[in-house]
Amino acid sequence: MPVRLTTHARERSSYVVRASFTDEEGSPVAPETLSWTLTDASGAVVNGRDSVSVAGPSSTENIVLSGDDLALAQGRDKEARILTLTGTFHSDLAGQSLPFAESARFLVENLVALS
């Protein structure tokens, strides 16, 4: 099920998505591999942010989006963005290199004074 963030991003500002990873017992765990993709609501990749690899991922990662990541099409009041995380993890119960995928959907709000 997708994660929905409660805070909206502001057009051409900075926005941090914090991802925390836990094992089946709820303990923090670092993924073996981790990458992320930023798309709009129709699935088009935004600002070339496709399969961005995170080197040496930890149990908590901050993904910083800014500038053109949060640009809006002209005349739009707001637009949805979807940050999709994919990777692999180790489970004491189920094995190694198990795939995972999760997404977070948020809105980018228009700041009228920006063109």
pTM exceeding 0.75: yes
* DSSP H helical ranges for the chain: none
Q: What are the pLDDT digits (tens) for 85-113?
A: 999 998 877 778 889 999 999 999 987 65
Closest CA to 7 of 109, 110, 101, 97: 109
Q: What are the pLDDT digits (tens) for 19-44?
A: 998 887 888 889 999 999 999 999 99
CA distance 12 to 15: 9
Give all domains of the chain, ordered by start, each with its CATH number: 3-109 (2.60.40)
DSSP H or E stretch at residue 91: strand 78-91
